[in-house]
Amino acid sequence: MTDAEALGRAPSRTRLWWEIAIVLALGLGQSAVYAAVQLAYRLTDVTPLVDQTTTLNPSRSDREVFDLIYQILSIGFALVPVLLVCFLLWQPRRPHLEALGLSGRGQVRDAGRGVVLVLAIGIPGIGLYLLGRALGWFVAVNPAGLDAHWWTVPILLLSAARASIQEEFVVLGYLFARLRRLGWGPWPIIVMTSLLRATYHLYQGPGAFIGNLAMGMLFGWLFARTGRLMPFLVAHFLIDAAAFVGYPWAAATWPALFGMPG
């Protein structure tokens, strides 16, 4: 429990709902709103969805040093909501972040489970993307739009870590903890968090909604059973790292599958 709760001043239901709204508005909830609007824009554009492209890690300046600075700043500020939820759920006694699913014990075993989870999600995810491209459910996704610099791969790996930490700390750790306190049962929480995860990926097309909804349901079900956050942090990082760093090679090898010019 938090310091306030230890003193008998547990937050009211209204305060908890406001807290959740603020946390989401600072990050993933904001992304979900923008993604929904962007999908509406894409679907009403004269260019068919299948011929459209989105870039996940674009260059932010035509000057290398400023591009690097902007990339670092963007990653850093994106993690502020994570710091906020850690602050809100910090416990005075060790393990301080147990409410988020980080107990400090068994982390190596949890990391191994994350690797296994990659196999369960990564391969079917690639298949869904390729099928969705063929059916027109996805825009062409370019995970790595950066020019080739000495810092490109490290920045892409940091971006993968940022996505993993930002999403899993908030969607699994924080929302599960707060919605349980509000009296929600496991399956309503799993469905709600999965819908959130799916919605902020809508900018990639309806196929991304379906794929991330399925991934969210699996992640949520497993997290509800184990209460361990580390496997999902590791799995999410490895999936995104493989996509961000391995994409240029894959797109060059099979340009037709990825919707890019050969």
Angle between helices 186-199 and 28-43 (to 10 degrees): 50
What confidence tier does 145 reach under pLDDT thresholds 50, 70, 90?
confident
pLDDT exceeds cutoff 70 at 69: yes
pLDDT at 255: 60
Task: Give me the percent of the chain exceeding a pLDDT of 70.
Answer: 90
Q: Where are the domains of the chain?
A: 30-88+111-258
Give me 14's structure tokens.
């209204």
pLDDT at residue 198 in the model:
97
Q: Is the pLDDT confidence value at 253 over 80? A: no
Per-residue confidence (pLDDT) for residue 251, from 0 to 100: 61
Side chain identity at residue 161, one-letter code? A
pTM: 0.88
Say whether pLDDT at 119 is over 80. yes
Q: Which of 173 and 242 is assigned the larger pLDDT? A: 173
Residue 70 reports pLDDT greater than 90: yes
If pLDDT is split at 50, 70 and 90, which confidence band does 261 have? very low
What is the distance between the alpha carbons of residues 174 and 146, in angstroms, rounded to a whole number?
A: 32
Residue 168 has pLDDT above 50, yes or no: yes
Closest to 196 measured CA to CA, from 80, 24, 81, 14: 24
- Residue 189, classified by CB atoms within 10 Å of its CB into exposed (0-12), middle (13-18) or buried (19+), is buried
Q: 6-53 pLDDT, tens per residue?
A: 444 678 899 999 999 999 999 999 999 999 999 999 999 999 998 999
